[in-house]
């Protein structure tokens, strides 16, 4: 019988600069890439009108968070300057904050300079794919604004991460990294963190699925867990499809993650992710009555 992973004792709230969010039942983070070259939606949301329309759509479908990124982290992506990243994200953040003041905004960056400008512009969360390893000033910046911090595991950099990634035990090494960075964040004065194992970031197909199979082990760290597998190659390689045809596969893998206790799904497709939580929560409630 399919069993929902019970993870009692784990933190289920997030203080986003004074706004307390309850993660019981799960939450969805909608992706807004302001980049011209992201692997799925690159170039779709580079003008203000399309950005606002997409945010409105995601919020109506149930997204609690909007994650705004201006630096493509697809495998092999080229580096861009901090100035270019700022030009992409800050006007978008300001426009979204003005038009949707109820939205909880996240900035997807590993640069403390970008994080600071974004926080000054009103974002509530910093989503750092480097987990604090990309910029020594990041932790202090997040702490200064009392923002929530998403710590992700990545082996290498976006440009090199898929060049023969190696682990002795991928789940053990990811958990050890997240534990270390979580403690560093706490020591820096960050009180609210979310842990992201980093599917697709320096992991091959086998390693991604081994990590997915052991996702419930992240519960030992006691913090909310976020998963971002939306339309990624770990799905496309198995199903022999392309990102534009990977919604069904994404939903299936998201369901596997939520059954193992994932609290936040970071996705391109909000409606379907909300349905995952609704169905898995129904399963969970039915088992509690047995």
What are the DSSP calls for 161-223, one per residue? TTSS---SSHHHHHHHHHHHHHHHHHHHT---EEEE--TTSS--HHHHHHHHHTGGGGGGG-S
What is the C-alpha to C-alpha distance for residues 124 and 115, in angstroms, rounded to an integer?
10
Closest C-alpha to 172, from 146, 189, 153: 153
pLDDT of 196-208, one tens digit each? 999 999 899 999 9
**Looking at residue 131, which CATH number applies to its domain?**
3.20.20.20
pLDDT given for residue 166 in this prediction: 83
Structural domain contains residue 266: yes
The reported pLDDT for the residue numbered 36 is 79
Report if residue 215 sits inside a domain: yes
Q: What is the mean pLDDT of the chain?
A: 91
Q: Please indicate, yes or no, if residue 289 is contained in any of the structural domains.
A: no
User: Which of 120, 150, 128, 116 is CA-nearest to residue 226?
Assistant: 150
Whether the Cβ atoms of residue 131 and residue 201 lie closer than 8 Å to each other? no
Give residue 265's pLDDT.
Answer: 98
Catalytic residues, by residue number, are: 232, 266
- What would the pLDDT profile of 236-289 be if each residue is shown by its tens digit? 999 999 999 999 999 999 999 999 999 999 999 999 999 999 999 999 888 766
- The residue among 217, 211, 199, 228 whose CA lies nearest residue 261 is 217
Q: Residue 38's pLDDT is what?
A: 58
**Looking at residue 2, what is its pLDDT?**
46
Compute the distance between CA of residue 109 and CA of residue 126 in angstroms, rounded to an integer: 7
Q: Residue 192: what pLDDT?
A: 97
What pLDDT sits at residue 7?
52
For the ranges 41-50, 55-64, 118-127, 163-172, the lowest mean pLDDT is seen at: 41-50
Tell me how far apart the alpha carbons of residues 265 and 65 are, in angstroms, rounded to a whole number: 10
Express each pLDDT in 81-101 by its tens digit: 999 999 999 999 999 999 999
4 inside domain: no
For the cut 80, the answer to whether the pLDDT of residue 78 exceeds it is no
pLDDT at residue 3, rounded to an integer: 45
Please tell me which residue, 38 or 169, carries the higher pLDDT value.
Answer: 169
Q: Provide the pLDDT for residue 42.
A: 55
- Dihedral over Cα of 145, 149, 155, 158: its sign: negative
Give the pair of three-digit tokens for residue 129: 């794919």
Q: What is the CB-side half-sphere exposure of residue 129 using CA atoms within 13 A?
A: 25
The answer to whether position 286 is within a domain reads no
Task: Look at strands 104-108 and 125-128 and give their pairing.
Answer: parallel
- What total of structural domains would you count in the chain? 1
Mean pLDDT of 115-126: 98
pLDDT at position 289, please?
66
What is the per-residue pLDDT for 274?
98
| Residue 150 scores a pLDDT above 60 | yes
Residue 75 binned pLDDT confidence (cut-offs 50, 70, 90): low
> 8 lies in a domain?
no
Strand partners, 149: 126, 193
Per-residue pLDDT averaged across 16-23, rounded?
Answer: 95
Rounded CA-CA distance 69/77 in Å is: 14
Instruction: Give 232's pLDDT tier (boundaries 50, 70, 90).
Output: very high
Residues 113-133, mean pLDDT to the nearest whole number: 97
Is residue 257 one of the residues assigned to a domain?
Answer: yes
> Does 288 map to a domain?
no
Range of the domain at 159: 17-281
Q: Does 278 or 73 have the greater pLDDT score?
A: 278
């Amino acid at each position: 019988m399919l069993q929902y992973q019970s993870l009692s004792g784990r933190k289920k709230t997030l203080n986003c600069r004074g706004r307390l969010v309850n993660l019981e039942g799960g939450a969805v983070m909608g992706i807004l890439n302001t980049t011209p070259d992201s692997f799925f939606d690159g170039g779709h949301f580079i003008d203000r009108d399309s950005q606002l329309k997409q945010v409105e759509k995601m919020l109506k479908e149930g997204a609690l968070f909007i994650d705004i990124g201006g630096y493509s982290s697809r495998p092999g992506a080229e580096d861009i300057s901090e100035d270019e990243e700022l030009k992409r994200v800050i006007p978008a953040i300001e426009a979204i904050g003005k038009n949707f003041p109820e939205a909880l905004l996240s900035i997807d960056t590993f640069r403390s300079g970008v994080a600071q400008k974004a926080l000054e512009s009103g974002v509530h969360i910093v989503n750092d794919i480097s987990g604090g390893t990309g910029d020594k000033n990041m932790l202090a910046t997040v702490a200064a604004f009392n923002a929530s911090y998403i710590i992700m595991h990545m082996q290498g950099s976006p440009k090199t991460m898929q060049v023969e990634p190696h682990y002795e035990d991928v789940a053990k090494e990811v958990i050890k990294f997240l534990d270390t960075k979580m403690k560093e964040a706490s020591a820096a004065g960050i009180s609210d963190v979310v842990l992201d194992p980093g599917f697709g970031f320096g992991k091959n197909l086998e390693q991604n699925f081994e990590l997915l199979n052991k996702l419930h082990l992240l519960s030992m760290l006691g913090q909310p867990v976020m998963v971002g597998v939306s339309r990624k190659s770990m799905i496309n390689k198995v199903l022999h499809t392309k990102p534009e045809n990977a919604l069904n596969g994404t939903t299936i893998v998201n369901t596997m993650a939520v059954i193992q206790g994932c609290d936040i799904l970071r996705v391109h497709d909000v409606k379907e992710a909300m349905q995952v939580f609704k169905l898995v929560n129904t399963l969970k409630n039915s088992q509690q009555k047995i």
